Structure 1
């Protein structure tokens, strides 16, 4: 009986060490939202990574206000212009596996920022790569990011993006100068 209890205690101890190890392994960086710049950089960093690399989805969700929307704009297979509304969890469910399977790096190449009081509107031009060593992007576009500062941190309240197409090229004003 004593050996059974001892064995159970050892198993419990090992499991709790493993649980603590997992929690410490990928903690949320609470400083990532203290400035507008850090919030935007964290957004790009958290979804980017080599093929096979797990993303830090808790950090991703930490960037967004609870009722935030992610809005993808583009044309469907029939050529009709559409938009799709998502919550951060929907984005993770719809895109997370693809990002981790294929490798994905989204790099900001230009940014314009307009602020008024505790609100900000950011136009962030991006290029996307499968691998960090790729020279030519497979996609470009603009993220329109609306943010709110509650006096303590920045929150993303909307992230609305559209990809560049032949019919809708990125204007010079939103490209590298």
Structure 2
């Protein structure tokens, strides 16, 4: 009888442990259970980066402010063509300045249409569908998807790299990267 009670108690204890472990595993892998600890600060850092390259009619691009939202070693990689075009931050700023001048851009506005953040400690990623407006806010000139990588510095969240691709007929932005 003692052995039967001991076996029943052990079985109950093992079952309870397995149930607790299963619940912990289920909640840690469930996407709906995850909350980004600093989502609003990371989202703000991304929106600030968009705002830094945007300017209204009658204004000039604030080229000297762009670097405030990036780490100095930041890389910007675009797939506008079939190959990756990799730029340092100073190169990107220079290319942007040339683009605005040569294309006669007197208004440039870029905004996030959809975004989703992932974070672990001082490392974050934000997938960000963007709309670009050139010389008017009446129609979207370009749309694509940015992949922002950010790090938390003593001065807050800064962009360490952006990788992006532009929407094309052969590459439409998928529904899961658009507002629902």
TM-score past 0.5 threshold: yes
Contact 1:123 1:143 in 2 (8 A): yes
Query: 1:131: Cα distance to partner?
Result: 3.5
Q: Residue 120 of structure 2 corresponds to which residue in structure 1?
A: 116
Q: Residue 140 of structure 2 corresponds to which residue in structure 1?
A: 137
**Structure 1 residues 54-63 or 96-105, which shifts more?**
96-105
Kindly provide the CA deviation profile for residues 68-116 of structure 1, in whole angstroms up to 9, marking residues without a partner as x: 10111132xxxxx111111111111111243363121112100011111
In structure 2, runs of 5+ residues without a counterpart are: 1-39
The answer to whether 1:86 aligns with 2:90 is no
Could you tell me how far apart the structure 2 residues matched to 1:44 and 1:62 are?
Answer: 12
Q: 1:41 aligns with which of 36, 44, 47?
A: 47
The answer to whether 1:53 aligns with 2:59 is yes
Query: 1:152: Cα distance to partner?
Result: 4.1
Q: Residue 174 of structure 1 corresponds to which residue in structure 2?
A: 177
SS in 2 for 1:148: strand
Find the structure with the greater CA-based Rg.
2
Kindly provide the CA deviation profile for residues 127-147 of structure 1, in whole angstroms up to 9, marking residues without a partner as x: 11114531x211100110000
Query: 1:52: Cα distance to partner?
Result: 5.0
State the number of aligned residues.
Answer: 138
SS in 2 for 1:99: helix
Superposed structure 1 runs of 4+ greater than 6 Å apart: none
The answer to whether 1:127 aligns with 2:128 is no
In structure 1, runs of 5+ residues without a counterpart are: 1-33, 76-80
Could you tell me how far apart the structure 2 residues matched to 1:109 and 1:158 are?
Answer: 19
Contact 2:118 2:125 in 1 (8 A): yes
Query: 1:57: Cα distance to partner?
Result: 2.0
Contact 1:50 1:132 in 2 (8 A): no
Could you tell me how far apart the structure 2 residues matched to 1:130 and 1:74 are?
Answer: 17
Could you tell me how far apart the structure 1 residues matched to 2:93 and 2:57 are?
Answer: 16
Taking structure 1 as the reference length, the TM-score comes to 0.71
Query: 1:58: Cα distance to partner?
Result: 2.4
SS in 2 for 1:128: strand
